[in-house]
Amino acid sequence: MKIAVLPGDGIGPEILAEAVKVLNALDGLDFDLQQAPVGGAAYDQTGDPLPTSTLELARKSDAILFGAVGDWKYDTLPREQRPEQAILGLRRELGLFANLRPAMLYPELAGASSLRPEVVAGLDILILRELTGDIYFGKPRGVRELEGGERQGYDTMTYTETEIRRVAELGFDLARKRGKKLCSVDKANVLETSQFWRDIVTDMGKRYPDVALSHMYVDNCAMQLVRNPKQFDVIVTGNLFGDILSDEASMLTGSIGMLPSASLDANGKGLYEPIHGSAPDIARKNLANPLATILSAAMMLRYTFDRPEAADKIEAAVRKVLQQGYRTPDIHEPETRKVGTVEMGDAVVAALKR
C-alpha cells in the first residue's frame, strides 16, 4: 500500500502526523509512506506549489493522504503560484473526477450543529460531487461585447454521457454498500444539461433494481438538507450543485474539524483530505482537531485499499474517544475533556489497541 503523504501548510503537518500515527497502530497492515512538500511549503522550497517530484510521487502511489494548503502570506502571489493551485493541479493531473463527502454527526456532538439536535443527531449522508466537468470547465467562457457595446459575462454548462455515466455508476455502487438509496440532484426543469443528466441516470437505474433511485431539483435539495437531512443516503450531483450542497451538508454537523473527504479516479486511486483548510490562525499550537484527517485515512482504507474492516476499526476508535469525552477546543463543551492535537491522536491509538 503505497501512500504519498503531503502535509502542506498551517495545521497540515500536525494533523497528518496524527493520521500517520493511527495508520501505523493498525495491526497486520504494511504501509509504504513517502512524504513530499506541497502548497506554500513547496513554493518556499522550489518556487512551485506542486513540484514535479511531488506530482510524480502522487502518480506512482496508490493513494494520497493530504493535509491542507494555504496561508495568508501567499495571498499576493500570482494565481498560478498560490498554494491552492496544488490541489487543483493534483485533481486535474490524476483525473480525480469524483468527490465523496460524508456528512456524519456523532450523537455526542449533536449540540455543535446550528440545527435542533433531533434533526441532525445520527446524521449519516454521503454527497458525491462530479469534480472535473460542468460549467467550471465548459467552453466557451469569458466576457464579450454585444451589439450596441453592452458587455456580457458567459460560461457554458456541459456534461458528456461518459462523464455522467461514470459518476452515476459510482453513486449506485456507493448506495449499494450503504443504505441503498440514491438521490440524483439536478435542475432539469430549467437546464438542458440537467434533463440529459436525469434521462441517463434514470436509464441506468434499471440496472440497479436494489437501489431506490429518486430525483430532486437542486433548490428543493438545498431546502430539504436543512429541513430533514436524514431522508438522504447518497446524493449524486454535478460539479456546480455539488460544490454548494456539500458545503451546506458539512455545516449541518457544525464541526469542520470532523469531516473527511475523498477524491477518486476511475480506478479507485484517491486523494484523501479533511474538508477544512490550513487554519493558519491555530497552526503550531497543538489546537487543531486531527479527527477529520484520521477519518480521511479510514476512507482511504475503505475506498482505495478495500479494507473495510480496518476502516471500521478507525471509525469505531473515533466514536469511542468522543464517548470518553475527549474534545479538541473546536468541539469542546462543558463537562468534556479538553485535549490538544497530539493527545487526541494518542487517544484514538489507545482506543484502537483496546
- Name the residues annotated as catalytic: 136, 187, 219, 243, 247
Reduce the secondary structure of 242-287 to three states and give it as a string: HHHHHHHHHHHCCCHHHCEEEEECCCCCEEEEECCCCCHHHCCCCC
- We find the least distance from the C-beta atom of residue 133 to ligand NAD, in angstroms, to be 20
Asked, as a colleague might, if the bond just before 140 is cis with ω within 30 of 0, I would say yes
Could you tell me the smallest distance in angstroms from the CB atom of residue 301 to ligand NAD? 20
Point out which residues pair with 213 in neighbouring strands. Answer: 182
Task: For the CB of residue 111, give the shortest distance to ligand NAD in the complex, in Å.
Answer: 17
Phi, psi of 255 (to 5 degrees): -130, 95
**Terminal Cα distance for the chain, rounded:** 25
Pairing mode of beta strands 181-186, 212-217? parallel
DSSP strand pairing (234-237 vs 124-130): parallel
| Per-residue burial over 154-182, b = 16 or more CB atoms within 10 Å of its CB, e = otherwise | eeebebeeebbeebbbbbbebbeebeebb
Is the CB of residue 149 less than 8 Å from the CB of residue 201? no
Q: Report the alpha-carbon distance of residue 86 to residue 70 in Å, rounded.
A: 10
Residue with Cβ nearer ligand NAD (108 or 233): 108
d(CA 63, CA 272): 8
Nearer to ligand NAD, 92 or 227 (CB): 92
Angle between helices 291-303 and 341-353 (to 10 degrees): 40
What's the min distance (Å) between Cβ of 279 and ligand NAD? 4
Cα separation values, 110 from 3, 93, 259, 304, Å: 33, 38, 14, 30
> Judged by CB, which is closer to ligand NAD: 229, or 277?
277
Q: Output 15 or 167, the one with its CB closest to ligand NAD.
A: 15
Q: How far is CA 97 from CA 91, 100, 227, 263, in A?
A: 7, 10, 29, 7
Strands 270-274, 326-327: pairing is unpaired
DSSP 8-state secondary structure symbol assigned to residue 24: H
Residues of the shown chain interacting with ligand NAD in the complex, contacts defined by CB under 6 A: 11, 15, 68-71, 84, 87, 256-257, 273, 276-282, 288-289, 292, 330
Looking at beta carbons only, is 61 or 296 nearer to ligand NAD?
296
Question: Smallest distance from the beta carbon of 256 to ligand NAD, in angstroms?
Answer: 5
How near is the Cβ of 316 to ligand NAD at its closest, in Å? 21
In DSSP notation, 40-64 reads HHHHHHHS-SS-HHHHHHHHHSSEE
Query: In whole angstroms, how close is the CB of 152 to ligand NAD at the nearest point?
Result: 30
Q: Which is nearer to ligand NAD, 237 or 289 (CB)?
A: 289
Residue 234 grid cell:
447518497
Q: Which is nearer to ligand NAD, 75 or 150 (CB)?
A: 75
